Amino acid sequence: MTDVKTVFGSLRNYQKGGVEVIDDDPRNYVFSNVFEVAEKSQPYERVAVGKNFDYVIEALRAEGTSPWYACAHDEFALVMDGRVEVRLMKPETPLVPSDKSGALRLTAAPSGRKMGRVVAGRGHMTLLPKGSAYQFHADQPSVVTIQTIQGDVTVERWADICQTK
Amino acid sequence: MSTAFAVQASEPDNYYGYRRFKKGAFEFHRDEYFVHIRWPKGTHTMAADIFLRALQRDIAWNFFYGTVNFDGVFGTLNHYGTVDMFAGRFNDAYRKAGRDYNETYKSEDLMATFKAILEDWTNRGYDPFAAPEETKQPYGRKDGDNKRAIERQRVTAKRMVGLPGDTPQRSDAGGYPVNRHFADVPQDQPEVYPEPGFEGEVSAFNLFAYLSRSDVTWNPSVCSVVKDSLYCPTSEEFILPVEHGNDRVEWFMQLSDEIIWEIKRKETGAPRARVVCRAGDICAMPADIRHQGFSPKRSMLLVWENNSNAIPALIESGKAPVVPVVF
């Protein structure tokens, strides 16, 4: 047995750090916590917690079954807490123009071929392949971060989630 | 066609056994404990372990993004094709006193000298990539070498770790045992159920298990790619061996444990803030700062970079802000 304790966070148990200002404005660091953001979000609200020009990291609370999404470029889903099923479809025809950035929320399940599914736990990263459609399902509240590009579904509320003083 | 760049090195010193090196007007030599640097306007001394750990990262990162300060005086500034080597360039007192000095080289040219220094000055059993508890000391007279350790390549996945033809996952069999500080990290793998014909696209891997098997510290490796958006997770322990002054915004998402960051002004080195990051915390490092991290226990950090070549000029010209979001 090891006495090492690696500390991961979860919805139920996270300890947020913070910015200790010497000669600065804490807003420069855009500091938030993905578990806190997910805790205060609606299921599958894709809240930006990181932004670098067009690129974003979204944090979402996975709970129940999500809408279907489609995207013209690769995205990557990293489970930070809980257990999440990712269902993948290959649409019969492209659902998103090739030059459109970010995920698009679909109004209904797409028609096409089943690509497969992934059941991912904490620390597992799943490829959401370009040109596919995907849906999340979680029996229990879980937390997922997504590496993607800012799009129609990306929610920005920096002043609400970030340290300001 | 590659060009071999000349390295100016002396014969080994009769007592210490180390070679002296010269690059432009910079001169380098080491003794049992220290590295000594001389340039036309001054001299500087660093502990050998601090110099070698910084040098190892500068080489592994190919001079990285922006400024790699070995300490408050000496370092490099990447121009992506050429690179500056400087003394006192980002130190307010040296600048005001006119003691700063800078030379520019082709990147491969300076890299050849840096690699020669690292190879000659790294002794048997000392691993500059390792945490202090995991390696022998670098001090003393010349005693063999450790080429196997210093020639490790930085991992750069093209799409995602574990995909066919891409960077493989880590395993005991592959020579990557679980690190002692991550002995409790679950090694389970995601359940992947591809339909026929989609085996190469329905894919997932355990990133935390992958990081628990990293044999280096403070060496971000690309694990997933969305165009210019690079996820570069890394395992950290002890002190980031450099003060990194980025030429663009980079982001840190703390995946496990804790890192304390000291933030200073990029140009002068004056303190600005301390940032404490715990598991789940995410924050930006503005483009006008330098930062150095302290990780009391080996931790997992996701470094997130925008690799676009256009960004340094946009920030330098003021067309893009030094912070990622204004709110």
Q: Which chain B residues contact residue A76 at CB under 8 A? A: 160, 224, 226, 231
CB B11 within 8 A of CB B4: no
Q: Is residue A70 part of a domain?
A: yes
The answer to whether the Cβ–Cβ distance between A50 and B282 falls below 8 Å is yes
Nearest chain B CA: its distance from A1 CA (Å) = 9
Total count of domains within chain A = 1
Identify the sign of the CA torsion B179, A59, B167, B81.
negative
pLDDT digits (tens, 9 = 90+) for B42-54: 999 999 999 999 9
The answer to whether the Cβ–Cβ distance between B185 and A23 falls below 8 Å is no
Q: How many other β-carbons are positioned within 10 Å of the β-carbon of residue A152?
A: 11
User: What is residue B4's predicted lDDT score, i.e. its pLDDT?
Assistant: 77
Q: Which chain B residues contact residue A136 at CB under 8 A? A: none
Q: Where are the alpha helices (DSSP H) in B17-124?
A: 48-60, 92-97, 107-121
Backbone angles phi, psi at A38, to 5 degrees: -65, -35
Helix (H, G, I), strand (E, B) or coil at A84: strand
Q: Is residue A164 part of a domain?
A: no
Helix (H) or strand (E) holding B147: helix B147-150
Q: Is residue A102 part of a domain?
A: yes
The answer to whether the Cβ–Cβ distance between B195 and A115 falls below 8 Å is yes
Q: Which chain A residues contact residue B262 at CB under 8 A? A: none
Backbone angles phi, psi at B281, to 5 degrees: -75, 145
- Express as a percent the part of chain B with pLDDT over 70: 99
Q: What angle do CA B88, B93, B95 make, to 5 degrees?
A: 55
The residue with greater pLDDT, A88 or B3, is: A88
Residue B2 has pLDDT above 60, yes or no: no
Q: Is residue A114 part of a domain?
A: yes
The answer to whether the Cβ–Cβ distance between A147 and B182 falls below 8 Å is no
The answer to whether the Cβ–Cβ distance between A5 and B281 falls below 8 Å is no
Nearest CA in chain A to B274: A20
- Label residue A39 by pLDDT band (50, 70, 90): very high
Sequential DSSP letters for B168-236: PPP-TTTT-PPPGGGTTS-----EEEEPTT-TTTS-EEEHHHHHHT---SS---B-EEETTEEEEEEEE
Q: Which chain B residues contact residue A124 at CB under 8 A? A: 189-190, 204-208
The answer to whether the Cβ–Cβ distance between B281 and A29 falls below 8 Å is no
Residue A2 has pLDDT above 90, yes or no: no
Structure tokens at A94: 């492209």
CB nearest A4 (choices: B184, B209, B285): B184
pLDDT digits (tens, 9 = 90+) for B164-192: 999 999 999 999 999 999 999 999 999 99
CB nearest A116 (choices: B194, B209, B226): B194
B interface test, pick of A2, A6, A130, A142 with most B CB neighbours within 10 Å: A6
Q: Which chain A residues contact residue B249 at CB under 8 A? A: 52
Nearest chain A CA: its distance from B176 CA (Å) = 18
In angstroms, rounded to a whole number, what is the distance separating the alpha carbons of residues B193 and A24? 49
Please give the C-alpha separations between residue B282 and each of A86, A126, B266, B293, B323, in angstroms, as whole numbers: 24, 20, 21, 14, 14
Q: Is residue A3 part of a domain?
A: no
Nearest chain A CA: its distance from B87 CA (Å) = 26
Q: Is residue A25 part of a domain?
A: no
CB A100 within 8 A of CB A152: no
The answer to whether the Cβ–Cβ distance between A8 and B186 falls below 8 Å is no
| Mean pLDDT score across all residues of chain A | 97
Residue A1 has pLDDT above 60, yes or no: no
Q: Is residue A13 part of a domain?
A: no
The answer to whether the Cβ–Cβ distance between B251 and A52 falls below 8 Å is yes
What domains appear along chain B, each with residue ranges and CATH number? 8-136 (no CATH), 180-215+217-316 (2.60.120.10)
- Label residue B118 by pLDDT band (50, 70, 90): very high
CB B137 within 8 A of CB B48: no
The answer to whether the Cβ–Cβ distance between B182 and A6 falls below 8 Å is yes
- Parallel, antiparallel, or unpaired: how do β-strands A46-52 and A154-155 relate? parallel
CB A153 within 8 A of CB A77: no
Of B233, B218, B297, B221, which is closest to residue B56 (Cα–Cα)? B218
We report the CATH number of the domain holding residue A125 as 2.60.120.10
The answer to whether the Cβ–Cβ distance between B186 and A21 falls below 8 Å is no
The answer to whether the Cβ–Cβ distance between A9 and B278 falls below 8 Å is yes
Owner of token pair 């000298």: B113
Residue A121 has pLDDT above 50, yes or no: yes
Q: Which chain B residues contact residue A18 at CB under 8 A? A: 275-276
- Label residue B1 by pLDDT band (50, 70, 90): very low
The answer to whether the Cβ–Cβ distance between A50 and B249 falls below 8 Å is no
Q: Is residue A19 part of a domain?
A: no
Q: Which domain holds residue A52?
A: 48-153
